[in-house]
Structure 1
Amino acid sequence: MSEPLDRESLYIIARAPRAGFAKTRLGATIGHGRAVYLYRAFLKDLAARFSGPRFRLGWYITPPDGWPEISSLVGDSGHVVFQGKGDLTDRQRDFFRLAGNRGESPVVLMAADSPHLGTEVVEEAFRRLRTGDDIVVGPTYDGGYYLIGMSHPHDVLDGPMSTGSELDGLRGRAELAGLSVGLLEATFDVDLEEDLRWLIPHATSRGDLPATRAALESLGFLEQAKPEDADHVEKERFTPP
């Protein structure tokens, strides 16, 4: 485990890959063991993509005793921060406050639910934070977000997650506080079985998702995929209000 990071840092939220604990909404339909098997692949591919010299990578994990299980997939590189109590909104708020105390600025936090996310998106997040945006957000098609970054800790996080209104609420609070919000490209996250129809074309056409592709194939999802699923890679463009 490396020394604490300073300046620009990227952290990935990670849950211990335990059946019934990680990817529970996906597991409710495809089976919790199968969902965790796929989630383990997500972590492997994200670690390989973001562990290079471009980013100072860290992991924001839960529970605290889950690091051995996570590190077996992602390696020991990167700074590790343990999530505390409260819901995900509370834990994100704590994360940015503590990152500021550590001197990490700007800092970006992303979910592990979008294994296809490219390095160029994170590079753009840091560029915007360096050049004037107080906050950057990567929207998901369902009204949430897959990434949030801040130039400094800002008190704009409130309310429950997974409601479909997280992004609107965050932007409204930022506007009231006089903070600028930069929006990155919209994409999907994998929460439900139906989301796999967007993931599969990425996994089968790109070379940087080897673990995800192997897991999808092993679970039989590639056999089930239809040619027209490729049409869903680019869902109708998300246009913020």
Structure 2
Amino acid sequence: MLFESEIIERNHVQIIGQGEQTLVLAHGFGCDQNMWRYLVPFLTQEYKIVLFDYVGSGNSLKSAYNASKYSLLEGFAQDIIDICETLALQNITLVGHSVSSIISSIAAVQRPELFTNIVMICPSPCFLNDPPDYFGGFEKEDLQELMNLMDQNYLGWANYLAPLVMGTNNSEVLTQELADSFCSTDPVIAKNFANATFFSDYRSLLPKISLPVLLLQSQQDTLASLAVGEYMQENIADCQKVVVEAHGHCLHMTHPAIVAQHIEHYLRNNHLD
């Protein structure tokens, strides 16, 4: 068992804000906790905010990286559990962006007593198409080509993927920030995380989620379509879905005020203890 100081250093844990409710913000693939800075100012007056970097991202302790552990999303979920346990956090809402919606769900299924709610921002349980009943948005061959591009031209991969994720109608500054974030991640670590993200299938996890869920998604999102959101809502027992009039996969960066408004409304009116 790691000591509290080791967990804080390993995941570069930061705690800000105040309030009886705690929001643990879990960043997406190729990102770090810095990506939450657009959303955080809207929430710090009401909530305690816990920020962290997954091992291998941001200012995390790179020496703690274990390729085997983090080849599956369960490894990242264990880090969330570690953080919540060692800090003795209570009344926790997990807020996950993209793949961290699923990572948060894994943590919540494994340790439901630790958490109160899950907020999913642009989630997908499976990015692969599985016709005729499920269309995650990508053929396996297309994703494999993307992985090959990571090996051949990492900078080109980052500059290709960033506008696809951010959405072409959004700020070029945000798109460049995302591309820079991709580039700042060690290529070997990034590829391992990418494999765990894009080639996994966690659809069977959805019915096991016992906590109430708020699902926020964009009207147009190349990585997580409206059909994916509908599938998730149908397969999660207690799921409220909100579609935001927006483009892209990073609502917390492009529309932070709207995301904060929906989170606050949900927590105030639906599932307060």
* TM-score, normalising length: structure 2: 0.29
Structure with greater helix percent: 2
